[in-house]
Amino acid sequence: MEVSVKFGKNEFDANIEKRDNRFEVEFEGKKFIADFEPLSEKDGNLIVDGKSYHVIFTNNSVYVNGVHFDIETIDPLKKELLKSTMLEKDEGAIVTSMPGNVKRVLVQEGEEVEAGQPVVVLEAMKMENELEAPKSGVVKKVNVKENTPVEANTVLVEIE
Amino acid sequence: MFKKVLIANRGEIAVRVMRTLKEMGIKSVAVYSDIDRKSLHVNVADEAYPLGGKTSAESYLVMEKIIEAAKKSGAEAIHPGYGFLSENEKFAKMCEENNIVFIGPPPKAIVSMGDKVTARRIMQEAGVPIIPGLEKDGLSEDEAFEFAKKVGFPVMIKASAGGGGKGMRKVENESDFSKFFRQAKSEALSSFGDDRVYIEKFLEEPRHIEIQILGDKHGNVIYLGERECSVQRRHQKVIEESPSPFIDEEMRRKMGETAVKAAKAVGYYNAGTVEFLVDKYKNFYFLEMNTRLQVEHPVTEWVTGIDLVEYQIRVAAGERLDIKQEDVKLKGHAIECRIYAEDPEKNFMPSPGKIERLLTPSGPGVRDDSGVFEGAEVSLYYDPMISKLTVFHRNRDMAIKRMLRALDEYVVAGIKTNIDFHKKVLTHPDFVKGKYDTTFIDNNIDSLLERDDKDRDVAIIAALIEYYSKEDKPSKKPVNKSSRWKDYAKNCWTI
């Protein structure tokens, strides 16, 4: 089975086949034989080259012996289609990765900002966190007001 | 002795207090907010009463609700844990007025020592060295700025009613002053309901070393050695150890006796902590006193063999301390790692969410004071600390190795944690040598954040097996007869 893999900034193709309860895996010019034993719906034991690993799967992550990895896997055909249909990710958007309360908005629309300049102060879990501008530019839009709650993945401020 | 005690707190500290209560044959009463209905402390308690509300301000900080729950349950005493109402003199008084014993110091001592400004003044009068600073009610930004220029940067701005790193900012230069002053005030207001701040000179190469004291209502006060708490980030302790690798027997005695003198000056009883800043010449300066049980109390329990919560309860019930200073013998070495729900790779942003999988360490010399369980939701409404992992061994080197082993066993999936970050700190040569101060994390942040990708290939294999297993399963969905192109467009990257 052909699979496209994305790990960090690297994207590459991999192949995985199952023979006699073992997986033969190939990527980046390397070949592996893996013995996988599920322990529950979420985790299992993996033996590769005689080394034993506890692996856990959550919605979008793999944990190997407790260490977390974000790895994306997709059918190569779907990947090609996605590329042609997906909009370019806006690199000027300041998005909150967690829900919280907007404590302060430090910029106004039309204001020039430097990369790394604090833009919004978000309060969550009793701590104030400064969210910084991902790039230098002009504030195109401020989508939030002070002292209002926001959900995760909200675009707070847009910079162009 | 009490028959029933209410714990006015949540999470790991509520569970920790309940454990000792159970050992003492005392019934425990939990209180909980709407968010915490499924929390561990509710399940561990003998009785539980709802407070309603989501935020701390709507629940754990509402004194009337806590008192009402205590009366309803018939609890004779309230243990406040740490944070929340633990250093609130009004609450301690309210307990007294309602004939409920507050398991903590007398309200007068909370006022004297809990307020950082008053505490500094008392210490100065007692002849204890303090750091040059400016504290006054209604300290304005301009006055603070003038002082900062006079003593020279860096300076520290701190919440008068503060603790735990909240409302605290280090200011390196003039241009940052205004921003950080306002931040400290606003954080102080939201954390403690009091926006007063004070300013002091920042010592270079400072170590944060604190003395644990214990006093009874009969005037006896002892000290139980020290805790080294210099591994900090944003003034929040991350790793603590006891004894400190920096101080010797003579210095321990001096600091201990100073701490006892400070406690006696305000008629202190129960458990308390006197925090000192120590410079590289081994001069120590009074920093503040915490009039409550500390998060990091287990390391002291390991090396002294004393259950601090048990003694808090005994003292509150009027018992005399049955330990004299000469009975206190420090043995071995203990380390604590605070396990936070946060993402070190994203500037330590808190990481609330569901704990999908949880494997906690155990084995020889390991203690995990946890407030969570597999399937628990880590709420964004409360502190991100999910557990305190402590280890004990015969010496410091062995304790570090034991902690690394325990951290290897610790798996929390579904949310991000600082477990890997702890491993990086514990293997850093300066930490291993014991040569570190409060700037350690800031000065080494890049190397401490380096990812350990040695098992990258294994992770990719695992992700591929997961993908294969999903793709290989015959779909249970009815066959979609429309064009497959539409399906492809709807799909996105998945594991």
- Is residue A66 in a domain? yes
- Is residue A138 in a domain? yes
Sign, CA torsion A50/A56/A59/A61: negative
- Measured between beta carbons, which residues in chain A are less than 8 angstroms from residue B351? 98
- Measured between beta carbons, which residues in chain A are less than 8 angstroms from residue B383? 125-126
Q: What is the pLDDT of residue B116?
A: 74
Are B144 and B298 a contacting pair, CB within 8 Å?
A: no
Q: B382 with B353, same domain?
A: yes
Q: What is the pLDDT of residue B481?
A: 40
- Domain of A137 in residue numbering reads as 89-159
| Partner-chain contact A129 B461, CB within 8 Å | no
- Is residue B27 in a domain? yes
| Partner-chain contact A126 B495, CB within 8 Å | no
| Partner-chain contact B419 A66, CB within 8 Å | yes
Q: A68 with A98, same domain?
A: no
Q: A153 with A99, same domain?
A: yes
Q: Which two tokens stand for residue B367?
A: 């203690």
Of B382, B456, B472, the CB nearest to A126: B382
Q: How far apart are CA B66 and CA A108, in angstroms?
A: 43
Of A34, A74, A126, the CB nearest to B191: A126
B57/A contact by beta carbon, under 8 A: no
Q: B196 with B234, same domain?
A: no
Q: B183 with B227, same domain?
A: no
State percent of chain A over pLDDT 70: 93
Mutate to test the interface with A, among B456, B467, B487 (most CBs of A within 10 A): B467
Q: How far apart are CA B75 and CA B78, in angstroms?
A: 7
- Of B48, B116, B132, B489, the closest CA to residue B291 belongs to B116
| Partner-chain contact A126 B383, CB within 8 Å | yes
Total count of domains within chain B: 3
B452/A contact by beta carbon, under 8 A: yes
* pLDDT over threshold 50, residue B488: no
Are B22 and B10 a contacting pair, CB within 8 Å?
A: no
Q: How far apart are CA B140 and CA B197, in angstroms?
A: 9
Q: A113 with A51, same domain?
A: no
| Partner-chain contact B460 A5, CB within 8 Å | yes
* Top-confidence residue, B479 or B337: B337
Q: A109 with A46, same domain?
A: no
- Is residue B280 in a domain? yes
Q: Which two tokens stand for residue B448?
A: 């401490």
- Measured between beta carbons, which residues in chain A are less than 8 angstroms from residue B346? 97
* pLDDT over threshold 90, residue B483: no
Total count of domains within chain A: 2
- Is residue B475 in a domain? no
Return phi, psi of residue B49, to 5°. Answer: -130, 135
A11 CA: distance to closest CA in chain B (Å) = 12
Under 8 Å CB pairs connecting chains A and B tally to 183
Question: CATH no. for residue A130?
Answer: 2.40.50.100
- Is residue A83 in a domain? no
B474 pLDDT band (50/70/90 cuts)?
low
Whether cis (ω within 30° of 0) applies to the bond prior to B384 is: no
Whether cis (ω within 30° of 0) applies to the bond prior to A99 is: no
| Partner-chain contact A55 B452, CB within 8 Å | no
Q: B149 with B294, same domain?
A: no
Q: Which two tokens stand for residue A151?
A: 């959900």
- Is residue A22 in a domain? yes
- A71 forms beta bridges with A7
Q: B148 with B224, same domain?
A: no
* pLDDT over threshold 60, residue B495: no
To the nearest 10 degrees (0 to 180), the angle between helices B308-316 and B11-23 is 70
Q: A73 with A130, same domain?
A: no
Which of these ranges, A86-100, A142-156, B112-126, B398-412, has the smallest mean pLDDT? A86-100
Number of residues written out for chain B? 495
C-beta neighbour count of B195 within 10 angstroms: 18
B461/A contact by beta carbon, under 8 A: yes
B367/A contact by beta carbon, under 8 A: no
Return phi, psi of residue B399, to 5°. Answer: -65, -40
Q: B197 with B212, same domain?
A: no
Q: A9 with A47, same domain?
A: yes
B485 pLDDT band (50/70/90 cuts)?
very low
CB burial string B347-377: b at 16+ within 10 A, e below: ebbbbbbebbbbbbbeeebbbbbbbbeeebb
Q: How far apart are CA B319 and CA B324, in angstroms?
A: 14
What ranges in B319-428 are assigned the alpha helix state H? 396-409, 419-427
Strand-strand pairing, B4-7 and B27-32 = parallel
Sheet order of strands, B207-215 included? B284-290, B270-278, B207-215, B221-233, B236-242, B333-340, B385-393, B366-370
B405 CA: distance to closest CA in chain A (Å) = 12
B193 CA: distance to closest CA in chain A (Å) = 13
Mean of all residue pLDDT scores within chain B: 92
Q: Which two tokens stand for residue B403?
A: 């902690």
- Is residue A102 in a domain? yes
Q: A60 with A101, same domain?
A: no
- Element at B38 (helix H, strand E): none
B341/A contact by beta carbon, under 8 A: yes
- Listed residues A77, A98, A127: the one ending a domain: A77
- Listed residues B155, B184, B201: the one ending a domain: B201
In 3-state terms, what secondary structure has residue B132?
coil
A142 CA: distance to closest CA in chain B (Å) = 21
* pLDDT over threshold 70, residue B44: yes
- Domain of B157 in residue numbering reads as 133-201
Q: How far apart are CA A54 and CA B454, in angstroms?
A: 15
Q: A102 with A42, same domain?
A: no
B304 CA: distance to closest CA in chain A (Å) = 32
Q: A98 with A70, same domain?
A: no
Mean of all residue pLDDT scores within chain A: 87
- Listed residues A43, A77, A111: the one ending a domain: A77
pLDDT, one tens digit per residue, over B259-276 is: 999 999 889 999 999 999
- Element at B42 (helix H, strand E): helix B40-44
- Is residue A8 in a domain? yes
- Listed residues B148, B170, B201: the one ending a domain: B201
Q: How far apart are CA B263 and CA B124, in angstroms?
A: 14
- Measured between beta carbons, which residues in chain B are less than 8 angstroms from residue A46? 458, 461-462, 465
Question: CATH no. for residue B296?
Answer: 3.30.470.20
Are B185 and B210 a contacting pair, CB within 8 Å?
A: no
Whether cis (ω within 30° of 0) applies to the bond prior to B154 is: yes
- Measured between beta carbons, which residues in chain A are less than 8 angstroms from residue B61? none
Of A5, A42, A60, the CB nearest to B357: A42
pLDDT, one tens digit per residue, over B280-325 is: 889 899 988 999 999 999 999 999 999 999 999 999 999 999 999 9
Q: Which two tokens stand for residue B156?
A: 């520290």
First-residue to last-residue Cα distance in chain A? 42
- Is residue A84 in a domain? no
Are B385 and B11 a contacting pair, CB within 8 Å?
A: yes
* pLDDT over threshold 50, residue A4: yes
Q: B317 with B375, same domain?
A: yes
- Is residue B480 in a domain? no
A85 CA: distance to closest CA in chain B (Å) = 7
Which of these ranges, A76-85, B200-209, B429-438, has the smallest mean pLDDT? A76-85
pLDDT, one tens digit per residue, over B398-407 is: 999 999 999 9
| Partner-chain contact B410 A97, CB within 8 Å | no
Q: A11 with A62, same domain?
A: yes
- Is residue A82 in a domain? no
- Is residue B472 in a domain? no
Question: CATH no. for residue B53?
Answer: 3.40.50.20
* pLDDT over threshold 70, residue B492: no
Q: How far apart are CA A99 and CA A122, in angstroms?
A: 9
Q: B268 with B192, same domain?
A: no
* pLDDT over threshold 50, residue B489: no
Are A16 and A25 a contacting pair, CB within 8 Å?
A: yes
Q: B185 with B235, same domain?
A: no
* Catalytic positions of B, written as ranges: 292
Q: A60 with A106, same domain?
A: no
- Listed residues A77, A110, A144: the one ending a domain: A77
B384/A contact by beta carbon, under 8 A: yes
Of A69, A123, A129, the CB nearest to B456: A69
Q: B236 with B348, same domain?
A: yes
* pLDDT over threshold 50, residue B478: no
Return the residue of A nearest to B340 by Cα. A125
Q: B237 with B295, same domain?
A: yes
Q: A125 with A145, same domain?
A: yes
B467/A contact by beta carbon, under 8 A: yes
Q: B259 with B137, same domain?
A: no
